Each structure stands twice: as structure tokens, then as C-alpha cells.
Amino acid sequence: MFAPTIHLPRRRTRTLEGSPWVRWTLITLALGFLAVFLFVPLLAVFSFAFQKGWEAYLAAITEPEARSAIVLTLTAAAIAVPLNLVFGLAAAWLLARFRFRGRALLLTLIDLPFSVSPVIAGLIFVLLFGRQGWLGPFLSEHDVHVIFAVPGIVLATVFITLPFVVREVLPVMQAQGSDEEEAALTLGASGWRTFLRVTLPKVKWGVLYGVILCNARAMGEFGAVSVVSGHVRGVTTTLPLHAEILYNEYDFAGAFAVASLLTLLALVTLVLKKYVELRSEAS
């Protein structure tokens, strides 16, 4: 996911091309695979969503519980993405520019949210903030609600999406090297000014790319959020959780209407991602 895109030269050689028969088999296989695993599900989501018509679709995504799910999903993303943007930039800069004891450990820890199952991520917060968790007695004494409330959902989202920005920005920063920054510093620019005027512009496409991925995951996360949500309808259900609830109520059209919102988000993300890729190649 994070390997830099490798562009093969366009020139084709006879040996690579092989016989037309092999080529067509491969193309058919690839298209068939895409059709089964991508196009059919995509079509299915929208056809189920609209099976009861436009009005039912609009009703499903504008009823109060759906609206509250949309607001909660946007809230969680609006907190998680900026936080991880700031953290990601700082951490990437630290890791790219400095060699220090524990650097490898820090790199590994940053990847932790990717390597650990989202359900376990959620349970970590239950064990920390739950009534019987480490901080549970303190929190309940002060009447602070973390899990089964909005802060818990935000925390889980921040945790799950933590690596995206760092992981996108770090390779770009490393590839840039520090020559220009050193030049700026020698010419008398302050550290802050150097960061803003020299470092940041160089990595901006990496940052954007990371933000897009981070946002997509923040809005789509199910496992970790499900564990800390408590599933209180209209209060602690995000869009993916709301879709599941509707599905379990045999409201398939409603579930897929909500799912189509998430699918649209994914499609927008893809377009943005492609645009950022093209722009970063151009610049």
C-alpha cells in the first residue's frame, strides 16, 4: 500500500508480449476477476439502495438516526484527520531528519494500528476506560464518559488511522534529503520558517495523499468503533454501524442506501487520490 508507484517503461518486447492467446486469456481473467469482485458488488450496492425508489432512498439517508450517524462519522473524521495530520508531519520529520536511539522502535510502534486487529484495538480502550478498566473508577467518579460515548469513538478512530500520514510523508521526506533545508538554515531562516517554506511544499502531495487515505479509513472504520460504540441508536452509531443495524432489521433498502453513501465516499476518495497522484508526478 505504501510502496512508491513504479512506472514501467512503455516499450514492450516480443518476449514479454507472448502469443495473443496468452494475452487474451490473461485479459479475460483479469477483467473477470474485477467484474466479480468489484463491479458486481458496486452495482449491487446501488441497485439494492434504489430498489424502493428515490423517495425511499432519500428518506433512508435523511431520517434522524441516519443524520446523527452522518454527523458522528464526520465529527470523528474531523477530529482524527487533523490530529493525525499534525502528528504525522511531526513524526515523519523527526524520523526522516534525525537518527536517535529507539528510532526503529518508534517506527514499529507507529505501524501498530495496522498490525493489530481493529477489534483488539477497540478492546484496548474498553480495558483502559471501561468501568472495570484501569481508569474506569476514576472516570466514573468524575462522571466522564469515554467508551460507549462519542470520545471513545473518536479515540478509536484516531488510533486506527494514526499511521496513514506518517507512512505517506516519511518516504517522500527521506527522498527529498535535507540539503535544501540546510541551505535555508545557513542563509538565516528560522527553523519554523524553513519547515513551512522549504520542507512542507516539497512533501505536500504526500501529505494530501496521507490525509485522503486517513479520512477514508476514519469514515469507514467498523471493527474498533463497533467495540467501543455500545450501539446506542442515534447517539453512538456511525455510518457503518448504522448500515449494519438496518440490515439486521431486514431494512435492506435502507442499509444499502447508507452503504451507498460510504461507497460514494470511497469513489470520491479514489478520484481525489488519482488526482493527487497525477499532480505529484507532474510537479
The residue from 59, 111, 136, 269 that contacts other proteins (CB under 8 A) is 136
Give the number of residues in contact with other proteins, rule: CB under 8 A: 37
- Chain centroid to Cα 263, Å, comes to 14
From the list 46-54, 111-119, 178-186, 245-253, the region that binds other proteins by CB under 8 A is: 245-253
Rounded CA separation 73/161 (Å): 14
Q: Which residues contact 77 (CB under 8 A, 6 or more apart)?
A: 157, 215, 218, 219
Q: How far is CA 265 from CA 70, 209, 212, 269, in A?
A: 12, 15, 11, 6
Task: Give 35's DSSP letter.
Answer: I
Q: Is 235 in the site for other proteins (CB under 8 A)?
A: yes
Stretch touching other proteins by CB under 8 A, among 91-99, 141-149, 166-174, 175-183? 141-149
Q: What is the DSSP string of 38-51?
A: IIHHHHHHHHHHTT
Residue 234 found at the interface with other proteins (CB under 8 A): yes
Site membership for other proteins, residue 222 (CB under 8 A): no
Task: By CB under 8 A, tell whether 196 contacts other proteins.
Answer: yes
* Residue number, 236 or 260, with CB nearest to other proteins: 236
Any contact of residue 85 with other proteins (CB under 8 A)?
Answer: yes
Residue type (1 letter), 31: L
> Rounded to an integer, what distance in angstroms lies between the CA atom of residue 267 and that of residue 169?
23
145 binding other proteins? (CB under 8 A)? yes
Helix (H, G, I), strand (E, B) or coil at 129: helix
Using CB under 8 A, which of the segments 21-29, 50-58, 104-112, 148-156 binds other proteins?
148-156
153 class by beta-carbon count within 10 Å (0-12 exposed, 13-18 middle, 19+ buried): buried
Q: Does residue 83 interact with other proteins by CB under 8 A?
A: yes
- Cβ of residue 154: shortest distance to other proteins, in angstroms? 6
Single-letter code of the amino acid located at 236: T
Give the one residue of 59, 200, 265, 272 binding other proteins; rule: CB under 8 A.
200
- The set of residues, in sequence order, having a beta carbon less than 8 Å from that of 148 and lying 6+ positions away, is 228, 229, 230, 232, 236
Binding to other proteins (CB under 8 A): which residues in 31-50? none
Task: Decide: is 147 part of the binding site for other proteins (CB under 8 A).
Answer: yes
Residues at the site binding other proteins, with contacts judged by CB under 8 A: 71-72, 75, 78-79, 82-83, 85-86, 126, 129-133, 136, 140, 143, 145, 147-151, 154, 196, 200, 230-235, 245, 248-250
